[in-house]
Amino acid sequence: MARLRGWRSTLGRRGNRALVLVAALAFGRTVAAVVPKPAQEARSAAGVVTCRYKFLVLDDTDIMKTHKLKRRVNAAVKHPQPVLRVDAPWHHKNEMLNYINVLYDEEERLFKMWYCTMSWDGRASDGPRRFAYATSTDGIGWEKPKLGLFEVNGSSANNFVTPEMDQAFVCTILKDPSDIAARRYKMIFSTGGPDPDWARFHVPLSLAYSHDGVRWERPRHVNPVLRGVSDTPWGFLFDPDRRTYILLTRRVPNTPRDVSLYESHDLVNWEDRGRVLVPGDEHDPPEVRTNAYYMMPFRYEDLYLGAVNCLYAHPVSEGYGSYHKSPNYPADRMGQEDVQLAYSRDGRTWKRPDDRSSIVPIGKPGEPDSGTIYAAHTPIVRNGETWIYYTASRKSHNWWDWLGTYDPAKGMRDEAYAMLARMPVDHWVSLDAGEEEGWF
């Protein structure tokens, strides 16, 4: 294979601009995932225009030609142990970790996590949920502060930031430094219960905001802000270049699962941009149906990248596969979920690389993440690395896996964990050579 080792000039051109691609390939190693791009230019002593920006080699948009190179998606390296467990004294034994939100607060130099816990009692239905708050100085060891906001078992000495609510309660949180202090943190969340179930409307989305990410205000005069979407975490992003909020979600009907885009300038009025990522093409495995369970978008250089949670379901009936174990499980991955890569140049047209390798793959049998992986909102880039937090479980997304192993004496605390995978900056995709030297 070949690696981008030193810099040497070759001339390319985009439009009326000279593009200097500088690449020396060393035989037998990997081609790096980035080369310069003509955004910020500098002129050398010899008068040659060079570039001080970069692009990822996700596709051939910025590459004129390749020779004997294969594009590969690279996996992040997993931290050996879970970074957060549901182990506080106020968590009861049937409470388990569910979805997580993680961000790094540049102003406070602090990692912040909002994690969902779900109570489950062995029935074929999700249980009630609530969200809790934790902080970390290094992203590995997490503190669960006693916030005193909600009473549990006669005590408010806990870290919950919402009361316990219906099984449809899920939220995604971001920090928007451009807004006033009172609305610095923003939450998009869903609620459910017998009333909307009887009315037969599906998962209304509502808005909340906060000055500290802990105490939340819900604007009664505008909620709910969106209806007709599905019951899962939502990709939620503020794009400062367009001053636009981006929401990526599934829509009704729930299956087959794909990703739709909504945009808003005020979080109240949303424009439906339609489906933007529909899996199930010639690059997906034919023996199972690949579903886009959800996608977490984030800005990366001048691109939009997405961490796509891919669910591998029964090719004919997901419901049948959920209650009947496949004779080829886990080899056929039916009911498992991993994390793949998607990308966009405008935030609206999304693609996946032809290589459908996982950026966070399923673990080996018996490992904490050997069944399902749910990417957190959202990957964090700092200190030369990209950090991808995720919820991990040994269980698949199949009811036979959960109902057949439920032990009321043991409880649910150890059924899911928050975990972390890391990769060097720009390591998403590479161009690799084989036995013979390649070039681009």
Q: Determine the pLDDT at residue 53.
A: 60
State the pLDDT confidence band at 21, using cuts at 50, 70 and 90.
very low
- pLDDT tens digits, one per residue of 256-284: 789 999 999 999 999 999 999 999 889 99
All structural domains of the chain with their residue ranges: 3-56, 77-424
User: Residue 37 pLDDT more than 60?
Assistant: no
pLDDT of 197 reads: 66
Looking at CATH, the fold of the domain delimited by 77-424 is given as Tachylectin-2; Chain A (2.115.10)
**Which has more confidence, 280 or 86?**
86
Q: Quick check: 428 pLDDT over 90?
A: yes
User: 314: which 2 tokens?
Assistant: 């029964």
> Sorting pLDDT into bands at 50, 70 and 90, what band is 422?
very high
Average pLDDT over residues 33-56: 52
Torsion sign over Cα 346, 352, 357, 361 = positive
Q: Which residue has the higher pLDDT, 365 or 36?
A: 365
Residue 303 has pLDDT above 60, yes or no: yes
Look up residue 65 and give its two tokens.
């030609």
Query: pLDDT class for 18, splitting at 50, 70, 90?
Result: very low
- The mean pLDDT of 68-94, rounded to a whole number, is 94
For the entire predicted model, the pTM comes to 0.88
Which residues does residue 305 pair with via DSSP β-bridges, in sequence order? 298, 343
Nearest Cα residue to 103 out of 353, 397, 325, 376? 376
Query: What are the tens digits of pLDDT across the range 208-242?
Result: 999 999 999 999 899 999 987 877 788 999 998 88
Burial class (CB in 10 A: 0-12, 13-18, 19+), 284: middle
Please give the mean pLDDT across all residues of the chain: 85
pLDDT at 325 over 70: yes
The pLDDT value recorded for residue 194 is: 67
CA–CA dist 353, 30 (Å, integer): 18
Q: Is the pLDDT of residue 201 over 50?
A: yes
Mean pLDDT computed over 402-430: 93
pLDDT, average across residues 160-187: 91
pLDDT for the residue numbered 52: 53
Highest mean pLDDT among 30-44, 383-397, 423-437: 383-397
Residues 138-168: b if buried by 16+ CB within 10 A, e if exposed: ebeebebeebebeebeeeeebbbbbebbbbb
The yes-or-no verdict on residue 388 having pLDDT over 70 is yes
Q: Alpha-carbon distance 43 to 48, whole Å?
A: 6
**pLDDT in the model for residue 4:** 37
The residues near 48 (Cβ < 8 Å, ≥ 6 apart) are 9, 20
Query: What counts of helices (H) and strands (E) characterise the chain?
Result: 3, 26
Asked if pLDDT for residue 199 goes beyond 80, the answer is no
Residue 30 pLDDT class (50, 70, 90 cuts): very low
Question: Average pLDDT in the 327-347 region?
Answer: 94
Whether 92 shows a pLDDT value over 70: the answer reads yes
